[in-house]
Amino acid sequence: MADWTSVTTRAMVVRAYYGAVLAQEKVAMLTQAQRAATAAVKQVESMVRQGVVTKADQLQATVRAGDVSAQLLSASNDATTARAQLALLLGRTEPGTLLLPTQLPTDSAVRAFAAQDTAGAETEGQRDDVRAAQLGTSAALADRQRAAATMLPRLNGYARYDYNSPTTLYAGKPNWTVGVMGSWSLFGGGSELADVAGADARARGARAGEEAARANARVEADAAKRLVTLTLQRLTLAAQAAAQSTEAHRLVEKRYAGGLATVAELLGAETAATGAALAHAAARFVVIDALAQYRKAVGADPGALARFDTLSPAASTGAAPAGATHEEPTR
């Protein structure tokens, strides 16, 4: 059970680690969005002075910039909380000493790991909680044998050696005694019967617990594998939505520059693009967390996901300490 607790903790660390990376990436995205929104407000103010757009357009741009600023404040707070939670799991007292990648692993790295990891066959009984249940059954069966043995005849051996000093009273020669003694308690008030019945009940309960642990392990492994497949499908949809939103924003931006689109349409497209990019990053995190839970469910080490740090392009830029300025991803 201590080993199972260790595996569970490692899965929690994986979730907290990449959750902190996701929080940092969100901050970087929203920082870029805030800069774009601030630039848009200045541009609209200039256009209002020129009489090209109305005051309502300026107000809409200002509202959009304020909304992005509010999201950035919330994301910054979430990033601080995520780093504190990760530090707590790692036993650190100062979250600022943690080094994290600048962004989550790419879609291709996540998919490659998932395809390789879910292709292997699960080994029943490999999980530490199942192994603990098996050991509990063995202990209960041994205890039942111990209880039953108390009602059997007993054969005991004994030896005795007496040393007598010739200078003392009743002096004599040393003597020794060796013997064998048999005993059998036919009835001890029913306590033996009660002990046997209790040990038998505990053995039956332990065996039922072992069967339940095995069945639960199979159910969790199947559910975790299906969850990985589901999250990969959602990742595909999120990637498509992010690409389409980015392209739609580019087209609306060109139409706006040509006077064929309103500020409301431009701000709406920009909001959709930012939201889709955030959802795409969140979808990658969900897949990583599902992979950690899958490895835990089949009895493997969730810490193997640390391989992402060498597969992800973000790792090549080095890890940035807390409070450092991160390179903003392109949209």
In this predicted model, what pLDDT tens digit does every residue of 288-323 receive, in sequence order?
999 999 999 988 889 888 888 765 444 433 333 333
Summarize pLDDT for 244-271 with one digit per residue, the tens.
999 999 998 888 877 787 888 888 888 8
Q: What's the pLDDT score for residue 171? A: 64
At residue 123, the pLDDT reads 47
Residue 133: pLDDT above 60? yes
Taking only the tens place, the pLDDT of each residue in 166-185 is: 676 666 667 788 999 888 77
Distances (CA, A) of 117 to 28, 73, 227, 311: 31, 37, 13, 15
pTM (two decimals)? 0.76
Element (H, E) at 182: strand 175-183
> Given this model, what pLDDT does residue 183 score?
81
Helix axes 128-149 and 191-257, enclosed angle (nearest 10): 170
Residues 110 and 235: beta-carbon distance below 8 Å: yes
Averaged pLDDT, 14-34: 93
pLDDT tens-digit series, residues 84-115? 999 998 888 777 778 888 889 999 989 988 88
The pairing of strands 175-183 and 320-321 is unpaired
User: Would you say residue 328 has pLDDT above 60?
Assistant: no
pLDDT, position 92: 83
Say which residue, 237 or 181, is predicted with more confidence: 237
Confidence of residue 36 (pLDDT cuts 50, 70, 90): confident
**pLDDT attached to residue 125:** 47
Q: Which of 26, 36, 4 is nearest to 275 (CA)?
A: 26
Residue type, 128: D
Question: What's the chain's average pLDDT?
Answer: 84
Determine the pLDDT at residue 329.
34
- Span 215-232, average pLDDT: 92
DSSP per-residue letters across 282-318 = HHHHHHHHHHHHHHHHTT--GGGGGGHHHHSGGGGG-
Q: What count of residues does the chain have?
A: 331
Average pLDDT over residues 67-72: 92
User: What pLDDT does 120 receive?
Assistant: 62
- What tokens appear for 71 in the block? 């999201």
CA distances from residue 287 to 55, 127, 228, 269, 304 in whole angstroms, order as listed: 45, 22, 6, 27, 15
Rg of the chain (C-alpha set): 35
Q: Which long-range contacts (CB under 8 A, 24 or more apart) does 190-195 make?
A: 192/147, 192/150, 192/151, 193/151, 195/147, 195/150
